[in-house]
Amino acid sequence: MVRRMRWTPAGRSEDLEDRRGTRVIRTGVGIGLGTVLILGVLSLITGQNLMGLLGPLQQITGGDQVETVDEPVRASPEEEERVQFVSFVLDDAQNTWRQVLPGRYQNAKLVLFRGAVQSACGFAQAAMGPFYCPLDEKVYIDLSFYDELRQRFGAQAGDFAQAYVLAHEIGHHVQRQLGIDGKVRAAQRQRPDLQNELSVRLELQADCLAGVWGHSTNQRKILEAGDVEDAMNAAAAIGDDRIQKMSLGYVQPESFTHGSSKQRMQWFMRGFQSGDVNDCDTFNG
């Protein structure tokens, strides 16, 4: 049974950028995301942070040349309902953050794409999953990720589980607005040996910030019974330990980049229970 939040379709968000009809073809050579993914797997196997050899994502992929072909967007009624839903989550989350951070929060954009996309951080493929690019302050998502979340990772497909994924990426935008992201990136450059640990703390804080928004939805009676459990299930499904166990057959905590299932659930619930950004200090907590 798919659990539904209490939400009402209200059209597309003004902050939604629909690129589902844009087909992106990479024509350049050089280091691309295929190489990045290979090094990522090798990092998991060896326990060494080989990603640090490449530098920031925009430097890795920035030399790529891409061509785009615009085509009509063909979508099923189910996909269009999902567009309406992510529009609702986007607007509701950003309205909440404008209230939590008055005068400080500026809206992010949400880019919908299919297969591949060109961002200010470089060329990206849907296999990477949803991501936030701080250089253009946009969240990118291929809506088919929600099917993968259910089919590959075994997460519940309820509305709040899907909302959690988007709220986590908006959490990264909050970190950008607060200057946290920049400080962490600078610290990673200064201390390459702490790159993974700092990445985990940054990701867990985004989980906690997603929980802060979840607290607001609960206060406003948007959630139904079982919604929180769905979000927790999704957080657990994409924990580093579970993903490593699925892909490698064993777990290497020292190579984590997002945190374990237990950590992700704990920090989401901390934000959800308190609704206070101050409780999301993963760097000192």
pLDDT tens string, the chain, 285 residues long: the values are 455 677 877 789 999 999 998 988 776 544 444 444 544 544 554 444 544 444 444 444 444 566 777 777 888 888 999 999 999 999 999 999 999 999 999 999 999 999 999 999 988 888 888 999 999 999 999 998 888 877 766 555 678 888 999 999 999 999 999 999 999 999 999 999 999 999 999 999 999 999 999 999 999 999 988 888 888 888 888 888 888 877 888 888 888 889 999 999 999 999 999 999 999 999 986
117's tokens: 């996309």
3-state SS, residue 261: helix
Q: Provide the residue ranges of all domains of the chain, joining segments of one domain with +.
A: 16-280
pLDDT at 139: 97
pLDDT at 148: 80
Give the contacts of 9 (CB within 8 A, at least 6 positions apart): 81, 84, 85, 88
SS3 148: helix
- Contact in structure between 240 and 40 (CB atoms under 8 Å): no
Q: Which residues pair with 25 in a beta bridge?
A: 67
Give strand pairing partners of 131. 140
Give the Å distances, CA to CA, from 17 to 13, 108, 134, 250. 9, 11, 16, 39
What confidence score (pLDDT) does residue 183 get?
A: 95
Distances in Å between the Cα of 114 and the Cα atoms of 65, 72, 117 are: 18, 12, 7
Polymer length in residues for the chain: 285
pLDDT for the residue numbered 55:
45
| Whether the Cβ atoms of residue 173 and residue 138 lie closer than 8 Å to each other | no
For residue 180, the model assigns a pLDDT of 96
Q: pTM (2 decimals)? A: 0.83
Summarize pLDDT for 44-97 with one digit per residue, the tens.
544 445 444 444 444 444 445 667 777 778 888 889 999 999 999 999 999 999
